[in-house]
Amino acid sequence: MNGIRKPVHLAVYDTLADWETGHATAFLARAGYPVRTVAAATTAPVTSIGGLRVQPDLALAELRPEDSSLLILPGADLWDTTDDLAPFARTARAFLDAGVPVAAICGATAGLAREGLLDDRAHTSAVSFYLAATGYAGGGRYVEADAVTDRGLITAGPTEPVAFAREVLGLLGAYEGEVLDAWYRLFHDSDPEAYAVLEKAGA
């Protein structure tokens, strides 16, 4: 991919699971993708589940799919305890309808299930019965896998931040082929031989 890359937008909200998207955003940034944080209603600071305070770059109403390379939705307690994050699921629908990819991990997959976005796409999450509790119609498309990509939508469970990042990096072409495989082997399997491949590639 050449030229100026559109930003990747990372949704941020109170109780966001800060460990779930770090690999993806860090290496997208290293590959030249600006990362911008987007909050629901205002740009007031939010606090992650780990106590990190994040100052959002913009509010959801300012976000347009055509200005973005990808929308990343991390998990958060709020996905399962309130409807406060439903606007992010609706925005995910707008992104997918516009042909712009979305990546959801952990509780965000339940939000997308409630929005109907997993009914006709292969997907995964923490466990199948977690999504089944949403009452969604996509149970037959659930896949027991670390991470799944189907028609522009990436899903993963909370224990798979590296597999999640692999799908993100591959979908956007940040890393490809042997380099993407080596990246995954290094960060998922601690394979020392993979480091040499990445160093040679300048990744």
Q: Is 61 a catalytic residue?
A: no
Phi, psi (degrees; rounded to nearest 5) at 104: -125, 135
Q: In this structure, are residues 9 and 91 in contact, taking their beta carbons and an 8 Å threshold?
A: no
Residues 86/101, Cβ–Cβ less than 8 Å: no
Residues 6+ apart with CB under 8 A from 83: none
d(CA 165, CA 72): 10
End-to-end CA distance of the chain: 14
Give the Cβ contact number of residue 191 at 10 Å. 14
Q: Which two tokens stand for residue 152?
A: 């522009």
- Do the Cβ atoms of 85 and 79 come closer than 8 Å? yes
63: left (phi over 0), alpha (psi -120 to 50) or beta: beta
Candidate list 106, 154, 162, 165, residue with the active-site label:
106
Q: Which residues are catalytic?
A: 106
